[in-house]
């Protein structure tokens, strides 16, 4: 039976101080700090502390991590290795261009490869995460319409969209119009009636967050174009179509990618990631500065575009993440990326065939791609919810799927196994999900009992915020 | 693949891609075929060889980012793959390690800044400033956000993007003869006109802020929120921003994180308790599990995009979590007294460089105390000087002229614990020679 390590690990400030010493601070009395309430611990104790904590954490290296929409694929170790060089780490962003030709070349090559993969004409690597890419994209949408002398106020998103889509549109100053889905896809009629001369853009994930490909995409893009709006691609699900289709060919004007999903850079427990933004040629002049340009055999930063939206982050993006994605693309190459997609879709369909049944139902008809969303609503009559199934999976040493997203599916469980998992791992996952559905309801509701801690009282955390060690 | 396809009863993998319209189907990507691991490693190493790192070429660049030592133990900790291959801790029972580390990070930030709460990170210091401006508007319902003229142009540009679409007007105040934000320029604003005022400690010219009473008075008079941008290292030896009247504290969370060409570093974001509902980003809280045992989880999520969607305080989802783990493990490894010694070392090294440069004819236009950066004006053309140094394998200081025309020949030096006396003396000697040559 699986067991995760379980230490009653003290907080850093509860560990015995062994390295205190006197330090004289020669600075004027007026501003000198007298008290600094941080511990001075021995290296031995600090390392032990964090190793214990790491053992109370689950990662892709630990096992299957089918968190839908997150593409938790295996992160090849070479990627970590190449980023550990002093030629990556000890490079100052303000260095003379002649001394950072290697970094610029990597960025240039990565931009080119991303263009080829997506069918876009130009990329900026500056955005730091997916949502940051969306925000950048929305700033470009605004700049584009303004350059046409138009002030369009609305951005349309489907009700299945990720929360960052409406949030990013709002941050860029747009009003958000949400349209209902029909049979798990964009309802073209609803879209048509929402579109107007006031529409700045339509944001779409394809395949969408249900794992369903929007097969009417060409019609959608025609409708969007008709009113002079732009079509925005949320690239969270690019892993479903690499080497099979390109957002650029579907009529998308702007895309963002999540390198920490599709391109195997590790997610770090919530970052650092990278959310590059690609555009069609007519929008290139709006991209953030600086752009990386190649002249002869040398690379430069180009700050000259008068139409650029300016900067969206301090420097050039999360360079180590960009480098890792580039290494991944080199490793996989044209066939490897296509195979990754094929295997991801195959794995997902295989797992779906084993999971969907009387316990877990598949809302909406048609086929699924790299992920699928089941509803656990049939278990409700036994008093079991999607959350309970998720917690019970922990007892078996398996990471649960994304739950309660997308919002349009009741008791949603969104499952994305990725290409990394073996058939055995998928068989086991499906088997356990089905076993759980038939287990004693009380047992499932009380899960987990094998994890380092029992179910967490999240309501208490919100009601009585304890947000630092001084708050206890 | 074959086995799986058989099980699914499909003959051609493309059956699974039937929903993609024929017109847009492709087969493969127009990039080279995959390579062996060993080839990829060789190729990347050979490209990166064209870079000159701090090891190859000591540099005296400042302007926000500077080289700092990363203890091996920190690297070891963030290389634990249970940490770095995990996702955002949506399942707290399987993520206690990450969650507790993040809680400790928040605790450390609050201790350094004197704030009540910290989020787990923003993307970087510039986006943290943008978020702070937006938050000050949400809290105050006012539209004007004031910044000193002497902050980095990158921050100004990012801020403009975050501010303008929220209806925020960014206005600048000049810096005074001593290189400090001229807070007397705020007198023209009436009480209640301003949402927030941004100040830095140390500021872009490296100057340590010591006007505690004046800033508090100005805050009282304008009724504005004070947003302070800090170097966390300086906070180990000077009074926390809370005593300067700060309501929001942001900064570049470099601790434990290498320079990385400016990326993969975190934006510090912390504030006072009364404004927590308006705060952007992820927050970790302590609670108990069902058996009453101490536990940690993400909390106050009703501010966030996955719940509030368009009405969230920010769109941020993924942040810089692993950089926060690097930060907190850096602080833990260095310890209180270790941090303070490094801070003092930074200040002493910078002073040493400044005095050496003065002795060979540099002017230092601002007489105030500085931390680990300072402005100096060489007796010859700054650009020509830097070119000479570069030829001799040393990267000179940051040229201010492009962004501060009034400091046309000014150089911004960054000096830290990474600069040994030998390196400094070599740089000064070469500078002296260059001055004679130019
Ligand atoms: C569909 C979709 N869009 C956008 C995002 C946001 O990406 P990031 O977390 O990198 O900001 C996510 C991430 O979960 C997603 O699943």
Is any Cβ of chain B less than 8 angstroms from the Cβ of A404?
Answer: no
> Tell me: domain A78-331, CATH 1.10.10.60, correct?
no
- pLDDT tens for residues A4-22? 999 999 999 999 999 999 9
Is any Cβ of chain A less than 8 angstroms from the Cβ of B297?
Answer: yes
Q: Which of A106, A153, A138, A104 is nearest to A288 (CA)?
A: A138
Is any Cβ of chain B less than 8 angstroms from the Cβ of A233?
Answer: no
The CATH architecture one would assign to domain B335-437 is Alpha-Beta Complex (3.90)
Contact at CB, B118 and A166, closer than 8 angstroms: no
ipTM for this model: 0.98
Report the CATH number of the A343-462 domain.
Answer: 3.90.1150.10
Q: Which of B7, B40, B8, B13 is nearest to A341 (CA)?
A: B13
Report residue A285 as tokens. Answer: 């002049």
Domain segments of chain A as ranges: 12-54, 78-331, 343-462
- pLDDT tens for residues B224-256? 999 999 999 999 999 999 999 999 999 999 999
With a CB-CB cutoff of 8 Å, which residues 409-438 of chain B face chain A?
none
Structural contact between residues B59 and B395, judged by C-beta atoms closer than 8 angstroms: yes
Contact at CB, B94 and A163, closer than 8 angstroms: no
Query: At residue B385, does pLDDT exceed 90?
Result: yes
Is any Cβ of chain A less than 8 angstroms from the Cβ of B344?
Answer: yes
Q: How many CB pairs under 8 A join A and B?
A: 625
Ligand 1 environment, Cβ below 6 A:
A 69-70, 129-131, 162, 164, 205, 209, 234, 236, 258, 273, 275; B 317-318
- pLDDT tens for residues B278-329? 999 999 999 999 999 999 999 999 888 888 888 899 999 999 999 999 999 9
Q: How far is the CA of A69 from the centre of ligand 1 (A)?
A: 7
| pLDDT of res. B336 | 97
Contact at CB, A39 and B335, closer than 8 angstroms: yes
Residues in B touching A102 (Cβ below 8 Å): 47-51
Confidence of residue B418 (pLDDT cuts 50, 70, 90): very high
Structural contact between residues A73 and A418, judged by C-beta atoms closer than 8 angstroms: yes
CA–CA separation, A240 vs B17, rounded Å? Answer: 9
Contact at CB, B26 and A23, closer than 8 angstroms: no
Contact at CB, A330 and B35, closer than 8 angstroms: yes
Task: State the angle between helix axes of B37-48 and A101-118 in degrees (0 to 180), rounded to the nearest 10.
Answer: 130
Structural contact between residues B411 and B398, judged by C-beta atoms closer than 8 angstroms: yes
Ligand 1 atom with minimal separation from the A161 CA: 1
Is any Cβ of chain A less than 8 angstroms from the Cβ of B119?
Answer: no
The 3 state secondary structure assigned to chain B is CHHHHHHHCCCCHHHHHCCCCHHHCCCCCCCCECCCHHHHHHHHHHHHCCECCCCCCCECECCCCCCCCCCHHHHHHHCCHHHHCCCCCCCHHHCHHHHHHHHHHHHHHHHHHCCCEECCCECCHHHHHHHHHHHHHHHHCCCEEEEECCCCHHHHHHHHHHHHCCCCEEEEECECCCCCECHHHHHHCCCCCEEEEEEEECCCCCECCCCHHHHHHHHHHHCCEEEEEECCCHHHCECCHHHHCCCEEEEEECCCCCCHHHCCCEEEEEECHHHHHHCCCCEEEEEEECCCCEEEEEECHHHCHHHHHHHCCCCCCCCCHHHHHHHHHHHHHHHHHHHHHHHHHHHHHHHHHHHHHHHCCCECCCCCCECCEEEEECCCCHHHHHHHHHHCCCECCEECCCCCHHHCCCEEEECCCCCCHHHHHHHHHHHHHHHHHC
Using CB atoms, pick whichever of B32, B35, B123 lies closest to residue A132.
Answer: B123
CA–CA separation, A20 vs B195, rounded Å? Answer: 42
Report residue A153 as tokens. Answer: 């106020």
The CATH 3.40.640.10 portion of chain B extends over: 72-330
Q: Which of A272, A323, A105, A100 is nearest to B54 (CA)?
A: A100
Residues in A touching B259 (Cβ below 8 Å): 89-93
DSSP letter for A396, please: T
Using CB atoms, pick whichever of A90, A102, A171 lies closest to residue B47.
Answer: A102
Mutational pocket test of ligand 1: of A67, A69, A70, A232, the residue with most ligand atoms within 8 Å of the beta carbon: A69
Q: How far is the CA of A129 from the centre of ligand 1 (A)?
A: 8
With a CB-CB cutoff of 8 Å, which residues 95-114 of chain A face chain B?
95-96, 98-103, 105-106, 113
The CATH 3.90.1150.10 portion of chain B extends over: 335-437
Contact at CB, B321 and A268, closer than 8 angstroms: yes
Shortest CA distance from A333: residue in chain B: B34
Confidence of residue B391 (pLDDT cuts 50, 70, 90): very high
Residues in A touching B295 (Cβ below 8 Å): 453, 456-457
Q: How far is the CA of A119 from the centre of ligand 1 (A)?
A: 21
Structural contact between residues B86 and A70, judged by C-beta atoms closer than 8 angstroms: no
Report in angstroms the alpha-carbon separations of A346 from B13, B16, B242, B246, B387: 8, 7, 56, 54, 57
Report which protein residue has its CA nearest ligand 1's atom 16: A69
| pLDDT of res. A1 | 74
Is any Cβ of chain B less than 8 angstroms from the Cβ of A22?
Answer: yes
**What does each of the 472 residues of chain A score in pLDDT, given as a tens digit?**
789 999 999 999 999 999 999 999 999 999 999 999 999 999 999 999 999 999 999 999 999 999 999 999 999 999 999 999 999 999 999 999 999 999 999 999 999 999 999 999 999 999 999 999 999 999 999 999 999 999 999 999 999 999 999 999 999 999 999 999 999 999 999 999 999 999 999 999 999 999 999 999 999 999 999 999 999 999 999 999 999 999 999 999 999 999 999 999 999 999 999 999 999 999 999 999 999 999 999 999 999 999 999 999 999 999 999 999 999 999 999 999 999 999 999 999 999 999 999 999 999 999 999 999 999 999 999 999 999 999 999 999 999 999 999 999 999 999 999 999 999 999 999 999 999 999 999 999 999 999 999 999 999 999 999 999 999 9
Report which protein residue has its CA nearest ligand 1's atom 9: B318
| pLDDT of res. A153 | 97
How close is the nearest chain A Cα to the Cα of B326, in Å? 11
Q: Which helix (H) or strand (E) holds A205?
A: strand A199-205
Return the residue in A6, A32, A57 with the most chain B beta carbons within 10 A, the one to mutate for interface testing. A57
> Tell me: domain B72-330, CATH 3.20.20.140, correct?
no
With a CB-CB cutoff of 8 Å, which residues 129-158 of chain B face chain A?
134, 152, 154-155, 157-158
Q: Which of A417, A406, A409 is nearest to A370 (CA)?
A: A417
Ligand 1 atom with minimal separation from the A69 CA: 16
The mean pLDDT value for B325-354 works out to: 98
Q: How far is the CA of A162 from the centre of ligand 1 (A)?
A: 7
CA–CA separation, A33 vs A15, rounded Å? Answer: 23
| pLDDT of res. B307 | 85
Residues in B touching A394 (Cβ below 8 Å): 91, 93-94
Adjacent-strand bridge partners of A372: A415
Confidence of residue B1 (pLDDT cuts 50, 70, 90): confident
CA–CA separation, A290 vs A310, rounded Å? Answer: 8
């Amino acid at each position: 039976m699986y067991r995760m390590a379980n230490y009653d690990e003290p907080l850093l400030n509860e560990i015995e101080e062994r390295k205190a010493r006197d330090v004289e601070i020669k600075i004027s009395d007026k501003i000198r700090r007298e008290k600094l309430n941080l511990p001075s611990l021995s290296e031995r104790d600090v390392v032990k502390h964090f190793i214990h904590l790491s053992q109370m954490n689950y990662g892709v290296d630990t096992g299957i991590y089918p968190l839908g929409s997150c593409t938790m694929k295996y992160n090849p170790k070479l990627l970590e290795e190449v980023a550990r060089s002093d030629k990556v780490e000890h490079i100052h962003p303000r260095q003379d261009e002649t001394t950072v030709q290697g970094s610029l070349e990597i960025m240039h090559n990565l931009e080119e490869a991303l263009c080829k993969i997506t069918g876009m004409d130009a990329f900026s690597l500056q955005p730091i995460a997916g949502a940051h890419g969306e925000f950048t994209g929305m700033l470009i949408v605004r700049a584009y319409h303004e350059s046409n002398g138009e002030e369009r106020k609305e951005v349309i998103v489907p009700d299945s969209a990720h929360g960052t889509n409406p949030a990013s549109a709002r941050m860029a100053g747009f009003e958000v119009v949400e349209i209902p889905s029909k049979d798990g896809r964009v309802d073209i009629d609803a879209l048509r009636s929402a579109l107007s001369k006031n529409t700045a853009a339509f944001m779409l994930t394809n395949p969408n967050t249900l794992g369903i490909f929007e097969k009417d995409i060409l019609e959608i893009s025609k409708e969007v174009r008709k009113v002079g709006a732009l079509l925005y691609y949320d690239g969270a699900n690019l892993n479903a179509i690499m080497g099979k289709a390109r957002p650029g060919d579907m009529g998308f004007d702007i895309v963002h990618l999540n390198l920490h999903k599709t391109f195997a850079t590790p997610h770090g427990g919530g970052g650092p990631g990278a959310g590059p933004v690609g555009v069609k040629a007519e929008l290139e002049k709006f991209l953030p500065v600086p752009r990386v340009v190649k002249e002869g055999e040398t690379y430069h930063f180009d700050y000259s575009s008068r139409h650029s939206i300016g900067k969206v982050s301090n420097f050039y993006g999360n360079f180590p993440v960009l480098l890792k994605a580039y290494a991944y693309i080199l490793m996989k190459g044209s066939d490897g990326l296509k195979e990754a997609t094929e295997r991801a879709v195959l794995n997902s369909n295989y797992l779906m065939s084993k999971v969907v049944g009387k316990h877990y139902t598949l809302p909406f008809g048609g086929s699924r791609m790299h992920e699928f969303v089941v509803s656990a609503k049939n278990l409700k009559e036994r008093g079991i919810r999607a959350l309970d199934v998720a917690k019970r999976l922990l007892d078996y040493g398996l990471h649960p799927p994304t739950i309660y997203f997308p919002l349009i599916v009741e008791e949603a469980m969104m499952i994305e196994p990725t290409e990394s998992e073996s058939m055995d791992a998928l068989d086991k996952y499906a088997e356990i999900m089905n076993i759980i559905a038939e287990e004693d309801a009380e047992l499932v509701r009380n899960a987990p009992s094998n994890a380092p801690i029992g179910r967490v009282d999240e309501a208490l955390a919100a009601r009585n915020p304890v947000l630092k060690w001084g708050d206890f | 693949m074959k086995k799986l396809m058989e099980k699914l009863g499909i003959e051609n993998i493309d059956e699974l891609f039937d929903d993609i319209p024929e017109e847009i189907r492709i087969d493969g990507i127009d990039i080279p075929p995959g390579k062996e691991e060993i080839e990829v490693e060789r190729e990347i190493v050979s490209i990166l060889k064209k870079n000159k790192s701090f090891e190859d070429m000591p540099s005296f660049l400042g302007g926000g980012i500077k080289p700092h030592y990363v203890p091996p133990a920190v690297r070891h900790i963030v290389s634990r793959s249970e940490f770095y291959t995990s996702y955002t801790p949506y399942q707290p029972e399987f993520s206690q390690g990450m969650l507790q580390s993040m809680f400790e990070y928040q605790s450390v930030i609050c201790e350094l800044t004197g704030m009540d709460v910290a989020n787990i990170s923003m993307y970087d210091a510039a986006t943290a400033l943008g978020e702070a401006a937006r938050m000050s508007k949400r809290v105050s319902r006012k539209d004007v956000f004031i910044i000193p003229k002497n902050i980095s142009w990158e921050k100004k540009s990012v801020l403009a993007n975050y501010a303008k679409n929220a209806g925020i007007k960014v206005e600048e105040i000049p810096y005074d003869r001593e290189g400090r934000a001229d807070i007397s320029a705020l007198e023209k604003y009436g009480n209640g006109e301003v949402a927030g005022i941004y100040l830095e400690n140390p500021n872009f010219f490296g100057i340590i802020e010591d006007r505690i009473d004046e800033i508090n008075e100005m805050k009282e008079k304008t009724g504005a929120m004070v947003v302070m941008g800090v170097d966390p290292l300086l906070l180990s030896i000077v009074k926390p921003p809370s005593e300067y009247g700060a309501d929001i504290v942001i900064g570049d969370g470099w601790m434990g994180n290498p320079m990385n060409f400016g990326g993969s570093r975190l934006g510090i974001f912390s504030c006072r308790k009364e404004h927590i509902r308006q705060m952007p980003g992820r927050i970790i809280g302590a609670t108990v599990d069902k058996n009453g045992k101490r536990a940690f989880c993400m909390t106050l999520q009703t501010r966030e995009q996955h719940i509030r969607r368009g009405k969230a305080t920010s769109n941020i989802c993924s942040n810089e979590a692993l950089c926060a783990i690097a930060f907190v493990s850096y602080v833990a490894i260095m310890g209180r007294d270790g941090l303070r010694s490094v801070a003092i070392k930074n200040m002493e090294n910078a002073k040493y460089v400044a005095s050496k440069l003065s002795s060979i004819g540099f002017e230092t236009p601002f007489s105030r105390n500085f931390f680990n950066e300072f402005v100096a004006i060489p007796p010859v053309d700054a650009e020509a000087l830097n070119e000479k140094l570069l030829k001799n394998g040393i990267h000179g200081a940051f040229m201010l002229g492009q962004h501060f025309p009034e400091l046309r020949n000014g150089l911004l030096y960054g000096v830290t614990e990474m600069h040994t006396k030998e390196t400094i003396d070599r740089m000064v000697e070469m500078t002296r020679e260059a001055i004679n040559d130019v």
